[in-house]
Homo-oligomer: A and B are copies of this chain.
Amino acid sequence: MPNPKQPTPAVRAAGGLDRLWRTSVGEDAAFLLARANALSLAAASEVLSPLGLKVRSYSVLALAVSAERPNQRELSEFLRLDPSQLVALIDELEGRGLVRREPDAADRRVNVVVATDAGRALCADARVATERAEAAAFAVLGDDDIARLKEHLRALAGAPEAD
């Protein structure tokens, strides 16, 4: 139901939601962050769904496509998901032929997760779709503001400083 419609009668009768935006909650950075995230997540989910991907599986796929050859433990820490959750995500992607587990030669316990050609193709499509959705979701801000916002979020998210 978290899908927005027009306000219901009981809300309009009370004067609309703007009233509530003026409370302390509407000033709370954590609340704003949560809301912005929910909207961005919903936008991404919507365009990924026709491709058979969720935000989670897309982020795994995108990392598997990269040249960095991440192993499961790295994906787990980077995405802040439990290793057991990654198993399920990778199982599904592997079952669809989008991704492959390659045992590391140096340490045969670790699996490197790499994308197949099909995975690369799908990921490219998904990337176009999400970038378009993201642009729409962030359209209320100007380009400079978006750039600054991303810098700030990178800092909050704990990204390494350098460049």
A158 within 8 A of B: yes
Q: How many copies does the complex hold?
A: 2
Q: How many residues of A contact B (CB 8 A)?
A: 77
A137 within 8 A of B: yes
Contact assessment for B80 and A29 in the assembled complex, using a CB-CB cutoff below 8 Å: no
A7 within 8 A of B: yes
Contacts of A78 in B (CB 8 A): 17, 20-21
Contact assessment for B17 and A31 in the assembled complex, using a CB-CB cutoff below 8 Å: no
Interfacial residues, chain A to chain B (CB-CB below 8 A): 1-2, 4, 7-8, 10-11, 13-14, 17-41, 43-44, 55, 59, 62-63, 66, 68, 70-71, 73-74, 76-78, 80-83, 107, 109-110, 127, 130, 134, 137-138, 140-141, 145-146, 148-150, 152-160
Q: Across chains A and B, which 8 residue pairs bring their CB atoms closest together, nearest first? A: A32-B153, A35-B157, A10-B73, A36-B156, A37-B37, A1-B82, A23-B66, A149-B152
